Structure 1
Amino acid sequence: MSSVYFFEKGQGQPVVLIHGFCEIGAMWADFAEELSKNYRVICPDLPGFGNSPLEKSHLSLEELAVMLEEWMEENEIFEPIVIGHSLGGYVTLALLELMQQKLKAVGLFHSTAFADDADKKQMRNRTITFLKKNGVDKFVTSFVPQLFPEDRRKELSTAIETAVEQAKESTLEGLIAFTEAMRDRKDRTQVLEHFHGPKLLIAGTEDGSVKLEASRKQSYLFTDYFELENTGHMGMFERKGETLALIKNFCQKASS
């Protein structure tokens, strides 16, 4: 029996929304509420985040994909549309490599099919060192606000406070394990190339985590590509109405 915790709403075509690093499934609550009018929306907590336990100290994205495929089979989640934010996008691509045409469509939200470059790998290593020295709370209170554009942090203060509180539901072991998994993940552009279903990429012009240049470089791999102006790494909060509309339109297209 899978230990993956999740919540779901609605009926019909399954739509799986996968959260990112320092996040939990509850981040999608508003999206799930709206999308559940037409779809069965399922939002898991990845192992080590929220209510899903991390059962081993090292977990590759490939191992996680196997775990999630088993979880989907147990819960009769067949031919889903899978959409992931940031780390959730990396997980989505690992699932796509494993399941291929068993997925109806995939979406990346501020994410990338490229592997980490040398500079990013060094940054991941510094993150691990900081986490081991300072713990979860000190890390997330400094890390999460930086995901939002500096000039909008006052305006978005409520969303940032919520994101920080949800990030505190991460375990130290989970943060370290997934930092390692992100650092060590492989390039999956060919996985996208070989998938013939609908493919969505949403990018932010001010995203400091996934640079706009990288998003544009891989945009040819997607059937649907959108850039959000003056938007950082958290478009689902920064541009809630706009991004929800993009997701709804994509799901409608994919399920028709």
Structure 2
Amino acid sequence: MISFTKQGAGKPIILLHGFCETKEMWKIFSEQLSKSHKVYCLDLPGFGESSLKVSQLNLEEVAVTLHDWMEEQEIQKPIIIGHSLGGYVALAMAELMGSEIDGIGLFHSTAFADDQEKKHTRNKTITFIKKHGVEKFIDSFVPPLFSAQHQERLVEEIATLIQYGKKTAKKTVIAYIQAMRDRKDRFEVWKTFGGAKLMIAGTLDPAIKIEASKEHEPFATAYHELEGVGHMGMFEAKKPSLIYVLAFLEKGSTQI
């Protein structure tokens, strides 16, 4: 079962959260975007209030699950914007569904697969979680996603994200770390996808290096860098991020 919220009317927009996040992270974005669009915010399988039936999964299976959910909800030609893990899922959906999707957005995400260094880090994280549990992991995982200059200003937001993250089951956390570690390279999907394409990157993002983000720019409909921002631009640079998304949706809707 996929848990979701639906708000507004117009062209459908699907917002996908990142790793150990929930649909609640998009609350302010949904409120603003729903003034001109029908906005769906959902919990990926295993996160928030959505169930996960298996302990092992891959992003292709998640894409199929969300495709089935779209058919149940009779959602046609959406624009899908994903944060981090949500972007990986959006790309898997673009590969699966092609022209059934009108646009995709990568919000602090990438079409590249993990390199060997990143895979090693993922494996170490799995070992840590098995030994110390999810709560201790989340305490150390969330704050560094924000750039140092924004951590003190956004104490409440960080605390809320930690609270939601700690509710995630251990099997879900490990299953998604493995899925991200083993995901295929989808840069060719990014290059050849025929719909509108948005990328928003943080110049200080510790998870998605800005050099990698820049390689996506030649194939993007809209590409933006958030100066001095880490991995959480929807909080660290809320106003410009929202402006970029709204502009992309307006342009994407008219050109498609």
Shared fold, TM over 0.5: yes
Q: Report how far residue 202 of structure 1 moved.
A: 0.4
Is 1:5 the counterpart of 2:22? The answer is no
> What are the Cα deviations for residues 217-246 of structure 1, in whole angstroms up to 9, with x where unaligned?
222121111000000000000000110111
Name the SS for the 1:84 alignment partner. strand
* Residue 156 of structure 2: aligned partner: 158
What is the one-letter code of the residue matched to 1:254? Answer: G
* Residue 35 of structure 2: aligned partner: 37
Q: Identity over the aligned pairs, expressed in percent? A: 52
Whole-angstrom distance in 1 between the partners of 2:149 and 2:238? 17
Is 1:242 the counterpart of 2:240? The answer is yes
For 1:148-227, what aligned pairs fall within 5 Å after superposition? Answer: 148-227=146-225
The Cα RMSD (Å) is 0.8
Is 1:112 the counterpart of 2:110? The answer is yes
What is the one-letter code of the residue matched to 2:77? Answer: E
1:89, 1:108 within 8 Å by CA — same for their partners in 2?
yes
Whole-angstrom distance in 1 between the partners of 2:245 and 2:150? 23
Whole-angstrom distance in 2 between the partners of 1:131 and 1:187? 26
> What are the Cα deviations for residues 24-62 of structure 1, in whole angstroms up to 9, with x where unaligned?
011001100111111110011011110011110111000
- Worse overlay, 154-163 or 234-243: 154-163
Whole-angstrom distance in 2 between the partners of 1:102 and 1:129? 39
Unmatched 5+ stretches in structure 1 = none
* TM-score (structure 2 length as normaliser): 0.97
Unmatched 5+ stretches in structure 2 = none
Q: Report how far residue 152 of structure 1 moved.
A: 2.1
Alignment: residue pair count:
254
2:137 to 136, 139, 144: 139
What is the one-letter code of the residue matched to 1:123? Answer: T
> What are the Cα deviations for residues 44-96 of structure 1, in whole angstroms up to 9, with x where unaligned?
10111100111101110001111100000000111000000000000000000
Q: Report how far residue 12 of structure 1 moved.
A: 1.2
Whole-angstrom distance in 2 between the partners of 1:189 and 1:125? 23
Name the SS for the 2:223 alignment partner. strand
* TM-score (structure 1 length as normaliser): 0.97
Name the SS for the 1:247 alignment partner. helix
Whole-angstrom distance in 1 between the partners of 2:214 and 2:190? 15
What is the one-letter code of the residue matched to 2:62? Answer: L
